[in-house]
């Protein structure tokens, strides 16, 4: 493995070791000549000119190699969140009418169960449903699923291109993530065709990765930009989900929950490594982390797509999901904490972990205060119980989870795009300032946990297409 391919911490260790050896050499030289270090160095340089020249050139080469091997900075140039038209709002009455007319249940029990879940879900009357629910026959078809995809994708991408002033021919790579809808041709091909992208554009289509795939897609974009040098400058990331063909028509309770909390949403994000665009970018990505806990059977089956006893396909959200989220969040932050926490919090955390280990598990590690590391936190908006679990595990106050709770109320669980609707909440409130640090965290099937850490390059500004513009003044609501 060459020096440039080593992880950054390993490169720093090598450089530190080289400096340590240099210091030792200077002291050894001083002792040899029994003179002060400065005098010894001058004598050494004058009598070993060739060696000095070679050493200086080597040191310069290593420094240049280190500077060149540093990863390119990655910036979020801008983003756009899709806001469906007002006539697509999924009010309680609309949802109730749809269930009564379109559902084919053998008893009223599933209807009452969904009513109960919906009433306790934390969702308000302003979330959005897919097009097929407003059609005359209310039948989910492939055509209506494509219509749902096109509406969200084209609207958000059009808005993003307008804001960034990036032309379609300037896009070097496209990443599309949609967990439960993977048509052929792919959604990335749909974008390629619609915007007439250049033929050498790199495209990636992610599916089956759940609500964390938005964070995962940004991480993938960052890895591409850091590894491709200047060959790839602009990556378009489209983060969406599709409800139409994933509406569950069976009667299994664990599968009916998705009907109650998932809603229409899409986000388009432009990620770049172009230094000339830094001044116009919103944020710089400073850290990203993905952990996968699928080796554990309970984590793997916590949210699972399968057929019920009658052969109807749906996604089962098990009762173990909340526990799994809490356990794997703790495992995730064990890796994240040393990278982001200030020294005082890190020392406290490490001490508590050591004490726990020495006590044989008698004591529990103290949860560090992550609000000391971040001014803003986008908590996974997967549902009321998930937000509450994250709040308990991380010791977050209601003010920290407020954006997540309000996003759930206004837009529901939009799956992989949810953290960007939450980001839009911060901006609509005008809470973000230059230099602020923001943490996005999301969970996904499998079971995966993903984190993105951003540093704001400039103060947030009011955007014409912020999906909160028509309602931000009434938030926060006292709903929990």
Q: Supply the pLDDT for residue 184.
A: 94
Q: Supply the pLDDT for residue 351.
A: 80
Tell whether the model's pLDDT for residue 67 goes beyond 80. Answer: no
User: Of 8-12, 390-394, 423-427, which range is least confident?
Assistant: 8-12
Q: Which residue has the higher pLDDT, 159 or 347?
A: 159
pTM: 0.85
The token duo for 89 is 């709002």
Tell whether the model's pLDDT for residue 361 goes beyond 90. Answer: no
Q: From residue 226, how far is each of 129, 278, 299 by CA, in Å?
A: 38, 15, 31
Tell me if 96 is assigned to some domain.
yes
Q: Which residue has the higher pLDDT, 353 or 472?
A: 472
- How many domains are contained in the chain? 2
What is the rounded average pLDDT for all residues in the chain? 88
Residues 54 and 114 placed together within one structural domain of the fold: no
- The mean pLDDT of 413-424, rounded to a whole number, is 96
Q: Supply the pLDDT for residue 2.
A: 46
Tell me if 308 is assigned to some domain.
yes
56 confidence band (pLDDT: 50, 70, 90): low
Q: Supply the pLDDT for residue 5.
A: 45
Q: Supply the pLDDT for residue 53.
A: 65
Spatial neighbors of 194 by CB under 8 A, at least 6 apart, are 154
Residues 52 and 113 placed together within one structural domain of the fold: no
Cα first-last separation, the chain: 54
User: Of 102-106, 216-220, 223-227, 342-346, which range is least confident?
Assistant: 102-106
89 has which bridge partners?
128
pLDDT in tens, 102-122: 767 878 899 999 999 998 999
Q: Supply the pLDDT for residue 368.
A: 86
Q: What is the DSSP letter of 184?
A: S
Residues 118 and 133 placed together within one structural domain of the fold: yes
Final residue before a domain boundary, out of 69, 101, 117? 69
Residues 25 and 148 placed together within one structural domain of the fold: no
Q: Supply the pLDDT for residue 60.
A: 63
User: Of 13-17, 77-81, 382-386, 456-460, which range is least confident?
Assistant: 13-17
Catalytic residue among 194, 287, 292, 301: 292
Burial class of residue 298 (count of CB atoms within 10 Å of its CB; 0-12, 13-18, 19+): middle
Residues 232 and 369 placed together within one structural domain of the fold: yes
Confirm whether 413 is a catalytic residue.
yes
The CA angle 279-281-287, to the nearest 5 degrees, is 115
Q: Supply the pLDDT for residue 463.
A: 86
Query: Using CA atoms, how far apart are residues 373 and 299, in angstroms rounded to an integer?
Result: 28
Query: Using CA atoms, how far apart are residues 283 and 258, in angstroms rounded to an integer?
Result: 33
Final residue before a domain boundary, out of 49, 69, 89? 69
Confirm whether 205 is a catalytic residue.
no
Tell me if 479 is assigned to some domain.
no
Q: From residue 284, how far is each of 222, 272, 425, 440 by CA, in Å?
A: 11, 10, 19, 13
Residues 398 and 464 placed together within one structural domain of the fold: yes
The token duo for 58 is 């080597």
Residues 43 and 166 placed together within one structural domain of the fold: no
Catalytic residue among 376, 378, 409, 466: 376
Q: Supply the pLDDT for residue 10.
A: 56
Candidate ranges 48-57, 95-104, 310-319; pick with highest mean pLDDT: 310-319
Looking at residue 136, which CATH number applies to its domain?
Answer: 3.40.47.10
Q: Supply the pLDDT for residue 1.
A: 41
User: Of 59-63, 232-236, 339-343, which range is least confident?
Assistant: 59-63
Q: What percent of the chain has pLDDT over 90?
A: 71
Confirm whether 376 is a catalytic residue.
yes
Catalytic residue among 81, 211, 266, 378: 211
Residues 406 and 433 placed together within one structural domain of the fold: yes
* Cα 144 to chain centroid, rounded: 28
Confirm whether 43 is a catalytic residue.
no
305 confidence band (pLDDT: 50, 70, 90): very high
* 3-state percent breakdown (helix, strand, coil) of the chain, nearest 5: 50, 15, 30
Tell me, letter by letter, the H, E, C secondary structure of 67-91.
HHHCCCCEEEEEEEECCCCHHHECC
List the 173-178 sheet strands across, edge first: 202-206, 173-178, 234-240, 266-272, 74-81, 283-292, 448-456, 437-444, 376-378
pLDDT in tens, 236-285: 999 999 999 999 999 999 999 999 999 999 999 999 999 999 999 999 99
Q: By residue range, what is the domain housing residue 156?
A: 74-474
The token duo for 51 is 């060696």
232 has which bridge partners?
none
Confirm whether 101 is a catalytic residue.
no
Tell whether the model's pLDDT for residue 26 goes beyond 70. Answer: no
Residues 182 and 263 placed together within one structural domain of the fold: yes
Tell me if 135 is assigned to some domain.
yes
Torsion of CA 357, 360, 363, 368, to 10 degrees: 20
Tell me if 480 is assigned to some domain.
no
Final residue before a domain boundary, out of 69, 89, 118? 69
Residues 65 and 78 placed together within one structural domain of the fold: no
User: Of 33-37, 201-205, 393-397, 427-431, which range is least confident?
Assistant: 33-37
Catalytic residue among 205, 273, 409, 413: 413
Residues 45 and 165 placed together within one structural domain of the fold: no
Q: At 180, is the secondary structure helix, strand, or coil?
A: coil
- The mean pLDDT of 449-456, rounded to a whole number, is 97
Give residue 207's region: left, alpha or beta (phi > 0; psi -120 to 50).
Answer: beta
Catalytic residue among 328, 380, 409, 466: 380
Tell whether the model's pLDDT for residue 165 goes beyond 50. Answer: yes
Residues 30 and 164 placed together within one structural domain of the fold: no
């Amino acid at each position: 493995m060459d020096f440039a391919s080593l992880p950054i911490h390993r490169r720093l260790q090598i450089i530190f070791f080289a400096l340590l050896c240099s210091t030792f050499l200077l002291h050894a030289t001083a002792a040899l000549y029994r003179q002060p270090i400065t005098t010894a160095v001058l004598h050494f340089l004058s009598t070993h000119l060739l060696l000095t020249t070679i050493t200086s050139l080597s040191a310069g080469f290593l420094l240049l190699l280190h500077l060149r091997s540093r990863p390119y900075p990655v910036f979020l140039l801008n983003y756009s969140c899709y806001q469906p038209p007002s006539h697509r709002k999924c009010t309680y009455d609309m949802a109730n009418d749809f269930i009564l007319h379109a559902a084919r249940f053998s008893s009223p029990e599933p209807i009452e169960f969904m009513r109960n879940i919906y009433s306790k879900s934390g969702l308000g009357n302003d979330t959005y449903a897919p097009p097929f629910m407003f059609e005359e026959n209310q039948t989910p078809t492939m055509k209506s699923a494509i219509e749902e995809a096109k509406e969200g994708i084209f609207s958000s991408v059009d808005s993003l291109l307008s804001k960034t002033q990036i032309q379609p021919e300037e896009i070097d790579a496209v990443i599309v993530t949609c967990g439960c809808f993977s048509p052929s041709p792919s959604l990335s091909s749909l974008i390629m065709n619609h915007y007439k992208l250049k033929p050498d554009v790199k495209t990636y289509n992610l599916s089956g990765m759940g609500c964390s795939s938005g964070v995962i897609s940004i991480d993938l974009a960052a890895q591409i930009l850091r590894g491709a040098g200047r060959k790839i400058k602009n990556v378009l990331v489209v983060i969406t989900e599709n409800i139409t063909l994933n509406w569950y028509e069976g009667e299994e309770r664990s599968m009916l929950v998705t009907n109650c909390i998932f809603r229409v949403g899409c986000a388009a994000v432009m990620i770049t490594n172009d230094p000339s665009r830094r001044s116009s970018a919103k944020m710089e990505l400073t850290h990203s982390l993905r952990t996968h806990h699928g080796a554990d059977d309970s984590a793997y089956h916590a949210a699972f797509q399968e057929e019920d006893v009658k052969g109807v396909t749906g996604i089962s959200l098990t009762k173990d999901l909340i526990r799994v989220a809490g356990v794997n969040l703790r495992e995730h932050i064990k890796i994240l904490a040393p990278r982001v926490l200030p020294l005082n919090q890190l020392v406290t955390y490490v001490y508590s972990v050591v004490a726990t280990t020495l006590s044989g598990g008698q004591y529990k590690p103290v949860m560090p205060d992550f609000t000391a590391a971040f001014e803003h936190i986008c908590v996974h908006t997967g549902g009321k119980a998930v937000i509450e679990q994250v709040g308990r595990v991380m010791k977050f106050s209601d003010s920290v989870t407020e954006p997540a709770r309000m996003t759930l109320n206004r837009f529901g669980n939009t799956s992989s795009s949810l953290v960007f609707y939450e980001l839009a909440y911060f901006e609509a409130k005008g809470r973000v300032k230059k230099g602020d640090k923001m943490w996005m965290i999301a969970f996904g099937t499998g079971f995966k946990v993903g984190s993105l850490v951003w540093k704001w390059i400039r103060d947030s500004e009011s955007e014409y297409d912020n999906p909160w513009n028509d309602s931000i003044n009434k938030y926060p609501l006292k709903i929990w």
